Each structure stands twice: as structure tokens, then as C-alpha cells.
Amino acid sequence: MEEDGSEQTVEIPATAFHLLVDILSQMAQGNAVTLIPIHAELTTQEAAKILNVSRPFVVKLIESGELPCRRVGRHRRVYFKDVMKYKQQIDSQRMQVLDELVAQAQELNMGYE
């Protein structure tokens, strides 16, 4: 609404509208929302927070080569896109293991349908 009480209509792309709806839905559920550029560099602590693991665990991932990083002085920085790629791989592996456990439980007639 303008200062004089009039309204202004603005057209936005459909993808932006859907993103805004998703953000507002998450906020309505009480979830925090953070927008991070895909090429953003994160500290190991920030990466750990996104992955819901400890910072030393992230350092081990980096040292083992599972999570790429670059050095800024003596500090490690990881790209947000690499953290999300790792998270998707881990989530996929977890779902596969859960599916296998469900299949085993069904084969053993453990009360799961």
C-alpha cells in the first residue's frame, strides 16, 4: 500500500510466487527460514549446523575427501552447494537402509504391514 492509501500491483514470476508461498508456509509452522546463495561459502561450524552434526565430524569429512573445501589462510570453507549435495547423498542412503529394514521386518512377520 502506498503512502496515499492507493495500492500497487506487481507481477512476479510463478517460481518466485511458489517460493514465497513455501517460505511463508514454513514460517507459519514456526520453522526458521534462511536464504543462502548456492555459491555461498560456509565455515565448518555453519556446515555442521546445516548437517546437524558436530564441527569435528565436518572436519573429518573434509580430511577424508567426502566434502570438498578450500582454505582461506588456515581456515576451511565449504560451498553451500557441496554441503547440500552431501546431505542429499546421506539422506538417500538413510532412506535406502530404512526401506531394507522395513522389507526385512515384513519378511519376518514382525507386525508391520
Query: What strand order describes the sheet that includes 70-72?
Result: 41-42, 75-79, 70-72
Q: What is the pLDDT of residues 14-62, one digit of tens each?
A: 999 999 999 999 999 998 888 888 789 999 999 999 999 999 999 999 9
52 or 6: which leads in pLDDT:
52
Report the percentage of the chain scoring pLDDT > 90.
Answer: 65
Residue with cell 549435495: 85
pLDDT at 13 over 70: yes
Position 30 scores a pLDDT of 93
